[in-house]
Amino acid sequence: MNMAEARFLVSLHEPIVRIGSEGCPTPCPRVGRGLCGAARRAADMGSINETNSGPDRSGALLRMVGLRKSFGGLKVLDDFSLDIPEAKTTVIMGPSGCGKSVTLKHMVGLLKPDAGEIYFDGRRIDQLDENDLAPVRLQIGLLFQMSALFDSMTVAENIEFPLIEHTSMTRAQRAVKIAEALSRVDLAGAEKKLPSELSGGQRKRIALARAIVLRPRVVLYDEPTTGLDPIRADGINELILRLNRTLGVTNVVVTHDLVSAQKVADRVVVMLEGRIVADGTYAQVARHEDRRVQNFLAGRYVRDDDADERRLAEETRAAAARQEAQA
């Protein structure tokens, strides 16, 4: 589990404050013991959406407007804007280093933009602190590329983790929710197994069960089929479709997998160098006139299109120029 994964999972321990009329104190004295007061009852009743501040006139559940993000001198997002429609599956594609995973981390608040705005259900969230962001995060499930399961916990304990932290359910009620989540990912009866006893595809399913056990409105998938054989990858694709169909979940999928994108996407956006260069159905994007998009979809390597190669060449030229100036 890397630091970003750990940070998101630890953020699910954060107390939810200032919800309801009881006026929970800040910081909450029950850190690590779940929600307190009105916040816990709101989560149990499924009314955590009270954090919304009004309708989004664009019809998008998630909106990113004019985002800019750099790490050191490396520009990753460059005036990036994207609307995510509710109850649809949006697939984000593009070559390595184009900003796809960074985009996901902005959606869930793991990263803050250098400039620009992010909205969830009409409420601006990029300026929120960790406490105020916590109820928003409860509405967003995140499936990490490497699953990010706790190796020392059983399957049931992994899935139970957010239920303990964010509801006042009894052990018996949690067991029912765990069984329901496992059934949804076709792993009924796996409660007592450890992650080490599972295949890569099964670990992905368990991570997805944990991501949906609180019934989020949005699920973000970071390369969900990476490392899986075609049959197990198709099983993950089927789950993505099923969650959208049966629960009305809004899916955002980052992937390099062209087969997966064709199968699950209502909409495909292609990113290059921190911007969207193609947007539409898979069939529409496949006919896009941009040569770089065509090369990406065909899996055709062209050195001049490789942003990493260009950055390396620029750095090499800059270093040579510095050495020459010093000589």
Whether 42 is covered by a domain: the verdict is yes
Report the pLDDT value the prediction gives residue 326, as an integer from 0 to 100. 80
* Residue 6: pLDDT over 90: no
Say if residues 181 and 209 touch (Cβ distance below 8 Å). yes
pTM listed for this prediction: 0.78
CA-wise closest residue to 86 among 106, 107, 60: 60
CA-wise closest residue to 215 among 150, 278, 162: 162
How far apart (Å, rounded) are the C-alpha atoms in residues 84 and 79?
Answer: 17
Report the pLDDT value the prediction gives residue 325, as an integer from 0 to 100. 78
Report the pLDDT value the prediction gives residue 321, as an integer from 0 to 100. 73
**What is the pLDDT confidence band of residue 43, given thresholds at 50, 70 and 90?**
very low
Whether 274 is covered by a domain: the verdict is yes
206 φ/ψ angles, rounded to the nearest 5 degrees: -65, -45
Report the pLDDT value the prediction gives residue 304, as an integer from 0 to 100. 74
Cis peptide before 216, with omega less than 30 degrees from 0?
Answer: no
Least confident among 43-47, 69-73, 246-250: 43-47
Mean pLDDT of the chain: 83
- What pLDDT digit, counting tens, does each position of 149-171 carry? 999 999 999 999 999 999 999 99
CATH number reported for the structural domain that contains residue 222 in this entry: 3.40.50.300
Whether 257 is covered by a domain: the verdict is yes
Domain count, the chain: 1
Report the pLDDT value the prediction gives residue 307, as an integer from 0 to 100. 66
- What is the number of helices (H) and of strands (E) in the chain? 12, 10
Q: What is the mean pLDDT of residues 72-91?
A: 95
Whether 151 is covered by a domain: the verdict is yes
Whether 87 is covered by a domain: the verdict is yes
Whether 313 is covered by a domain: the verdict is no
Report the pLDDT value the prediction gives residue 39, as an integer from 0 to 100. 42
Report the pLDDT value the prediction gives residue 284, as an integer from 0 to 100. 97
**What is the pLDDT confidence band of residue 301, given thresholds at 50, 70 and 90?**
confident
CA torsion 261-267-268-274 (nearest 10°) is -140
> What range defines the domain where residue 213 resides?
3-283
Residue 254's alpha-carbon distances to 13, 22, 267, in angstroms, are 26, 40, 12
Q: Could you tell me whether strands 250-254 and 89-93 are parallel, antiparallel, or unpaired per DSSP bridges?
A: parallel
Strand partners, 267: 90
Say if residues 187 and 206 touch (Cβ distance below 8 Å). yes
Whether 294 is covered by a domain: the verdict is no
Whether 205 is covered by a domain: the verdict is yes
